Amino acid sequence: MTETLTSVAIQQVKVYTEQLQRGMFVSRLDRPWTHTPFALQGFYIRDLEEVRQLQKYCRYVYVDITKTVGDVGASLRRLSRLNAGGDREPVAASSRNRAKVPALIPCRPVQVSHQAYPPPVAARKAAPRARRLLRQLEACLHEVMVQVSSQGPLPIPQVTAVVEELVDNVLRSPDAAAWLARVREKDEYTYKHSMRSGIWAVIFGRHIGLGRHELVQLGLACLLKDVGKLQLDDRVLRAGRRNAKVEREYRRFVDYSVKLLSTEPRLDPQVVNIVHCHCERHDGSGFPRGLRGDKIPVLARMCGIVTFYDEATNPRSEAFPVAPSRAVAQLYDLRGIGFQEQLVVEFIQAIGLYPTGTEVELSTGEVAVVVEQTYHHRLRPRVMVVLDRDGQALPKPRLLDLAVDDDRKQRLIERGKLGPNDKITIVQDLEPSRYPGVDVAAIRDHYLLKDGGIAAVFTRLFSR
């Protein structure tokens, strides 16, 4: 078994699936979690069936040696210490295939606490407050733009107060806030990328257990990080493919932002530092200073991840957002390169495989919209089924809690009354442009706020 291990980090080893044993804690896979049925949070191998499932989808996995239990855990930790004391060359499956390990980028693990906050309340209970918050965020962002354009003082106290309310809202109900980030309204002027980034960032921070003060710093930085773009020429800002000269000019927005924000005595200097570093990358390929690894502040690393994710899901030139799985796959490919691997995995866990507002295809062939997460069963959220298997609007859309439905059918399967194929699962997420008649904003309003009757809402939904 020891011949099939490769040390990839202080706490992880690479194990080929034919060598897996009970007690190992699988922390990541050799492919995106979105391509498998496994939970995002990692899991202990409890029996042979789980080994078989891993062998079905993966060639190898990564095992957390600090969490692995029993004799196998002791063996892995001993092997890791031996490798750490050597020349850092991995022990590969065959000595003929040995390859040098790339130099590790210095970056200490981020301390994470998934139990820092109580379970979230239902999105419906927090929805009215979230809607008011959206209007306040829009108003604040508009005022920031006006003041930057007129060279006036930034409304820092007002922005800080709104971000503090955003933090409180996310701490209470991440799903209610996630709806604000997922749905693009027709008036894009008041629904900016920086606002969505701020919402994703606070949801991310809540997931890993950041303190309230840090959440406010992170939210403020994401909301203000792009103020320097208002000083760029419009042709630079909107250029599709930037040549070297245009790219250099574009990158100056970070320095412009820092210069503007540094003149505000009421703004926390740490917020300015996050803005200054949010375009830096784990491998040193970012800007403006080419920082790498531990030299990039943790909150700036998080800001960079949510910025990348939002830009990937909401391309500037596209009329619709793109399916979250595409953005997640791009982000996952950059783990350990553009972004710290641990934080990439934590962010994907924070938003779920199918973020609130995502259009999905069910195993029944029907189309649904995710309306709320099930936090202990990320692959089985609550959905609103809106189209039948032929792509036609249902006479009356129905709410389906996949986790509850799965538990009920599992009991029937155990009693021999159903087969495994009778369970309803999510097959894939969908590009929002595939069914343009599905008005996700109307679904949101009906589910969260019950605006109008169901017939009126879905007349708007499917009118063509």
Mean pLDDT value of segment 286-290:
96
Type and span of the H or E element at 427: strand 426-429
pLDDT-above-70 percentage for the chain: 84
Work out the number of other CB atoms within 10 angstroms of the CB of residue 109: 12
**In contact, 262 and 272? CB cutoff 8 Å:** yes
Distance CA 314, CA 184 (A): 9
Distance CA 285, CA 405 (A): 47
How much is the mean pLDDT over the chain?
A: 82
| DSSP at 7 | E
Counting beta carbons within 10 angstroms of the beta carbon of residue 384, is it exposed (0 to 12), middle (13 to 18) or buried (19 or more)?
Answer: buried
Q: What's residue 187's pLDDT?
A: 41
Q: What's residue 100's pLDDT?
A: 36
Q: Which of 206, 383, 234, 228 is nearest to 306 (CA)?
A: 206
Task: Report residue 166's pLDDT band, with 50, 70 and 90 as the boundaries.
Answer: very high
Query: What CATH number was assigned to the domain covering residues 123-351?
Result: 1.10.3210.10
Q: How do the domains of the chain map onto residue ranges?
A: 2-97, 123-351, 359-462
Distance CA 97, CA 94 (A): 5
Distance CA 29, CA 47 (A): 18
Note the pLDDT tens digit of each residue in 386-400.
Answer: 999 999 999 889 999
Cis peptide leading into residue 288 (ω within 30°): yes
Q: What's residue 261's pLDDT?
A: 96
Task: Report residue 453's pLDDT band, with 50, 70 and 90 as the boundaries.
Answer: very low
| DSSP at 326 | H
Top-confidence range, 88-92, 113-117, 180-184, 311-315: 113-117
Top-confidence range, 16-30, 268-282, 314-328, 407-421: 268-282
Distance CA 390, CA 380 (A): 23
Q: Which of 138, 236, 154, 245 is nearest to 194 (CA)?
A: 138
Task: Note the helical H segments in 150-211.
Answer: 156-172, 174-182, 193-208
Task: Report residue 17's pLDDT band, with 50, 70 and 90 as the boundaries.
Answer: confident
Q: What's residue 83's pLDDT?
A: 54
**In contact, 4 and 19? CB cutoff 8 Å:** yes
Task: Report residue 437's pLDDT band, with 50, 70 and 90 as the boundaries.
Answer: confident
Sign of CA dihedral 284, 347, 198, 171: negative
Note the pLDDT tens digit of each residue in 82-138.
Answer: 555 443 333 333 333 333 334 468 788 899 998 899 989 988 888 888 888 888 988
Q: Which residues pair with 25 in a beta bridge?
A: 44
